Amino acid sequence: MIPLTSLSKRFAMVFVLTLTCATGWSKLPTLDREQAQGMLESVASDVRKYYYDPKLRGIDWDAQVGVAKNAIALADSWDVARLDIAALLEKLNDSHTYFVPPPYPIREDYGWQFQMVGDRCYVVRVRPKSDAEAKGLKPGDEVLTIEGFTPTRVSLPKIEYVLHVLRPMSGLEVGLRDSAGKPRLVNAAANVRQTRAITDLAEMTGRDTQVLRLEHEEQKHLMRPRYKELDGELLIVKFPAFFVQDIAIDEIVSKARKHKNLILDLRGNGGGPQATLQRLLGGLFDHEVKIADIVSRDKTTSLETQTDRRDSFSGNLIVLVDSASSSASELLAKVVQIQKRGTVLGDRTSGRVMEAKFYPHQTGSSTVLFYGAMVSAANLIMTDGKSLENVGVTPDQLVLPAPEDLRAGRDPVMAKAVELAGAQLSPEDAGKIFPYEWPAQ
């Protein structure tokens, strides 16, 4: 097993070339190579102009851009050229600075999901009727390797970036350890759906628009807050993401005010807009609270809550987090800890906390390719003087599901939170409160 620690040259040339070899090689035409060089220059310029640290963390950026340019000159395929661009931005080791390449005209669903629990990676869900299910993958199986590489807290986000953004695949070879402790190697095919590549927004058809609208509506549905009332005095809110309107935040606070206890489940919450964080935190305090200092290239500003003191929730607060909680959800959990507003329960968070902006670009004439760069515009320094980037939030109480809990669909984390709120709920029943909703294929 090979530990994967960074998108270094070794990662670019070993991991990604391993993934792309299954699709065969093709010589990169001169025009395509020139387009790749143009993409490199555009995203490198974005970083040079807008990255929050003008010293670029001590990296000789021009020299590294030169290395990437030489690599693209020798690239054998679009896949390799894309990786050379991505590897350049990865040198900053910044969770919110990365290359967004032209998307492949496919939608892939691997049929199973994996996640870090503590310092081990496990299968957490398997889609019914998928090839993964047919091949015997089960929740609770430990993931030892993905395409020969060992998933860790550092490497897993990079692996996911490759598999979902840089090079979606038709299937994965996965090394597993089952409940009996037996290791095995499984090849599970993905469900791959072909889509139409959008190369000119002016040429989008009504069907294209309808597909995008339906996908957007589905995402809104999956990211909606969900509620469970227990014993009349406890409200549990499953909050999957901060990409919601103000009215949804106000509804959470309004419902919570009718209860003595609130469990805010931010497990798997990847964050979202800063204003949503400010509004939600404002509903959890009866006074203005400083969240963090926003340290950008040329100034430092204070990020504070948006508070209507008449309508805040003043009861007992419990916040649930896990290794997939990132960005705004981490900031909320840390503010709750620093201000001693409530109890944070679960697993250590991802440590992916920066303020970033997307810079879009396009290239080509007859065929237009849309791409861009996400660039960190600021670091966020908490009121304890520390950044959460690459550190995360350590819960007040570390509570992790065991492999047998994952297999049985039990949720001991939620059960413990309910107990702290003065109620009772078995881990079995806790696992049924918010059934997982698979996106449509």
Query: What residue ranges do the domains of the chain occupy?
Result: 2-93, 106-194, 218-355+378-430
pTM of the shown model = 0.90
Q: Quick: pLDDT tens for 252-283.
A: 999 999 999 999 999 999 999 999 999 999 99
Helix H or strand E encompassing 150: strand 149-150
Round to whole Å and give the CA distance between 360 and 325.
26
Query: Which whole number is the average pLDDT over 167-185?
Result: 94
Which pair of structure tokens corresponds to residue 207? 């069907």
With cut-offs at 50, 70 and 90, classify the pLDDT of residue 245: very high
- Residue 194 forms beta bridges with which residues? 106
Q: Quick: pLDDT tens for 76-96.
A: 988 899 999 999 999 999 999
Round to whole Å and give the CA distance between 277 and 233.
25
Which long-range contacts link 7-14 to residues 24+ away (Cβ below 8 Å)? 7/86, 7/87, 7/90, 7/158, 8/87, 8/90, 9/87, 11/87, 11/158, 12/83, 12/84, 12/86, 12/87
Q: Could you tell me which CATH number the domain at 218-355+378-430 has?
A: 3.90.226.10
Nearest CA to 252 out of 273, 277, 231, 271 is that of 277
With cut-offs at 50, 70 and 90, classify the pLDDT of residue 198: low
Q: At what angle do helices 274-282 and 328-338 cross, to 10 degrees?
A: 30
Q: Could you tell me which CATH number the domain at 106-194 has?
A: 2.30.42.10
Cα-Cα-Cα-Cα dihedral of 291, 297, 298, 299, to 10°? 0
The separation between CA 3 and the C-alpha centre of its own chain, rounded to angstroms, equals: 21
Query: What was the pLDDT predicted at 281?
Result: 96
With cut-offs at 50, 70 and 90, classify the pLDDT of residue 114: very high
Query: Which whole number is the average pLDDT over 340-358?
Result: 97
Mean pLDDT of the chain: 89
Query: What was the pLDDT predicted at 340?
Result: 98
Out of 172-181, 211-220, 317-326, 348-357, pick the least confident: 211-220
- For residue 51, the SS3 value is coil
Q: What is the DSSP letter of 204?
A: -
Query: What was the pLDDT predicted at 103?
Result: 87
Round to whole Å and give the CA distance between 323 and 115.
7
